[in-house]
Amino acid sequence: MFSVDKMHFEISERKMILRVFDVIFVFGSLFAIGNIFDFDYFVSSTNNLYWMLILGVYINLFGTIFEMYNLQVASNQFQVLKSTILTVSTTVLVYLLTPIYSPTLPSKRIQIVLFYIVVFLALFFWRMFYVSFLASTRFLQNAVLICDNEQVEELVSGLVNIDPHYKIIAFVNADAPEDETVEYPYFKKIKQDKLFSFVKQNSISEIVIASQKTDGITADLYQQLLHLLESGTIIREYTQVYESKTQRIPVHYMSRDFYRFFPFSRSNHNKLYLIAARIFEISTSVLGLCVGLLLLPFILIGNAIGNRGKLFYTQERVGKDGVVFKILKFRTMVRNAESNGAVFTTTNDSRVTAFGKFLRKTRIDEFPQFINILKGDMAVIGPRPERPFFVKEIAEIMPFYETRHIIKPGLTGWAQVNYAYGATIDDSLIKLQYDLYYIKHRSIFLDLNIAFKTITTVLFYRGQ
């Protein structure tokens, strides 16, 4: 019997639900209004498959740019309103002004206003329904963790605040005597022989195995897991769950046995992909430099007033295969900013000038790096290049850090669009997890995802 209490959706499933029903609600509303009130523009839009396809693409495209499919945004009423207004305004404007690919503009301008209102209300009310119903706690996914006692808090904290619908409510200790009494405030410890009954009584949807000691999985525990698997309970390894929920590689859990996670993406050696990526890099760089030249007069004025010094600066960075190159940027800091030695740039860094802050927020300071991309030192998308001093310092205490150098560094990357500016070693660890995820899953689709998120970063003035 179907039970709502046991129902849950994975992150990818919720995003797909949002994308599909955005289009369904808009098309359904346009069709209904067009036929009930006999508005020609509505009828022509919904009766032509080609035009409907274009409108659906626009909704998903601009919805991606304005974060309609960010689950944190989609679960907040105010953020939903903001994103819906931006998405609908851009979608309707571009759709109305797209020649051939959309219907001829209506003779009565009131239909344009009504077209906007219908699309907005359709998306807004559907999203309010999602916030109130599909994003509610009734779709909470409860899980049980099987791990070593010494790792339990670290492993649970690694998944906290990533997916609000996913919660580890209990764990089975796989390495200590059954009579050991250790209490944890946020999750329950259950005995190995009680696992099957606990799962059945508490609507557990998933069991996560994180024990790295094979002798911790006793014969009795193995039999229970086998019976649970046969009865439909999902059993996954911790690294699989962590990757799917966080879109990062769990470096803190892996120690140095990263061979378990190879091979990395085939795209790293796929000739066709690399050629296509290089063509994209060259064309993007040429376009970026043209835009930079148009902005140059304003940048020169701003630099003369706000920076009072050299416009450009160069700095050594580590590139592919550990080769050091000179990166080119617009200067954003005061002169002699590192007279006391190299340090991480921090949020609200006092060394950054007022005009430099504007350049960083808008990412204009990075326009000269298109020259580095044309030279082949960098790519458009990849791990951000770090300075040799910091690479040496971080690599000594952090496993896998130099794995970032198996591909070219990028102007933007998976870590840049998912995490704030790294100001500490701990920040570098999190960004490394994102970088390794990109290297492992590198593909055209992931590159497009990063490109859209980069556009969002610029539009919402989120640069550092």
Average of pLDDT values for 369-382?
Answer: 95
In angstroms, the Cα distances linking 281 to 210, 248, 379 are: 40, 25, 6
More confident residue, 217 or 373: 373
* Cα–Cα distance for residue pair 101/58, rounded to 1 Å: 11
For residue 179, what are the contacts with CB-CB under 8 A and spacing of at least 6?
none
Q: Which of 38 and 189 is assigned the larger pLDDT?
A: 189
**pLDDT confidence tier of residue 14, bands split at 50, 70 and 90:** confident
Assign 409 a pLDDT band (cuts: 50, 70, 90). Answer: very high
CATH superfamily assigned to domain 140-246: AF0625-like (3.40.50.10700)
- With a cut of 70, say whether residue 58 has pLDDT above it: yes
Of the two residues 241 and 318, the one the predictor is more confident about is 318
In this prediction, residues 409-432 reach a mean pLDDT of 84
**How do strand 379-381 and strand 141-147 relate by DSSP bridges?**
unpaired
What is the reported pLDDT for 464?
59
> Minimum mean pLDDT among 53-62, 249-258, 371-380: which range?
249-258
Residue 357 has pLDDT above 70, yes or no: yes
Yes or no: say if 398 and 430 are a contact pair by the CB < 8 Å rule: no
Classify residue 322 as exposed, middle or buried by CB count within 10 Å of its CB (0-12, 13-18, 19+). exposed
Domain boundaries, the chain: 4-134, 140-246, 266-459
Question: Which range (56-65, 74-83, 176-185, 402-411) has the least confidence?
Answer: 176-185
First to last CA, the chain: 52
Q: How far apart are CA 343 and CA 398, in angstroms?
A: 18
Q: Position 413: which residue type?
A: G
22-49: pLDDT as tens digits: 999 999 888 888 777 766 666 655 567 7
Give the pLDDT confidence of 197-241 residue by residue, as tens digits: 999 888 888 999 887 666 667 788 888 889 888 888 889 888 888
The Cβ-side half-sphere exposure at 12, using a 13 Å CA radius, reads 6
The dihedrals phi and psi of 158, each to the nearest 5 degrees, come to -65, -20
Q: How confident is the model at residue 295 (pLDDT cuts 50, 70, 90)?
A: very high
Short-list 169, 170, 168, 175, CA closest to 147: 175
Write down the pTM of the prediction: 0.79
Give the tokens for residue 444. 């055209």
Q: Give the pLDDT score at 77.
A: 86
Tokens representing residue 441 in the block: 């899953």
Q: Confidence class of residue 150 from pLDDT cuts 50, 70 and 90?
A: confident
Neighbours of 444 (CB within 10 A): 12
Rounded CA-CA distance 401/428 in Å is 9
- Residue 50 CA to residue 101 CA, distance in Å, equals 8
Q: What pLDDT does residue 319 have?
A: 95
Taking all residues of the chain, what is their mean pLDDT, rounded to a whole number? 83
Q: Per 3-state DSSP, what percentage of the chain is helix, strand, and coil (rounded to 5)?
A: 60, 10, 30
d(CA 282, CA 371): 10
Candidates 35, 36, 85; CA nearest to 45 is 35
> 221-241 b/e with 16+ CB inside 10 Å = b?
beebbeebeeeebeeeebbeb
Beta strand pairing call for 234-237 and 206-209: parallel
pLDDT at 4 over 50: no
362-383: b or e for each residue (b if 16 or more CB lie within 10 Å)? bbbbbbbbbbbbbeebbbbbbb
Local confidence band at 138 (pLDDT 50, 70, 90 cut-offs): low
Q: What is the pLDDT of residue 350?
A: 75
pLDDT of 325 > 70? The answer is: yes
More confident position, 56 or 107? 56
Residue 136 pLDDT: 58
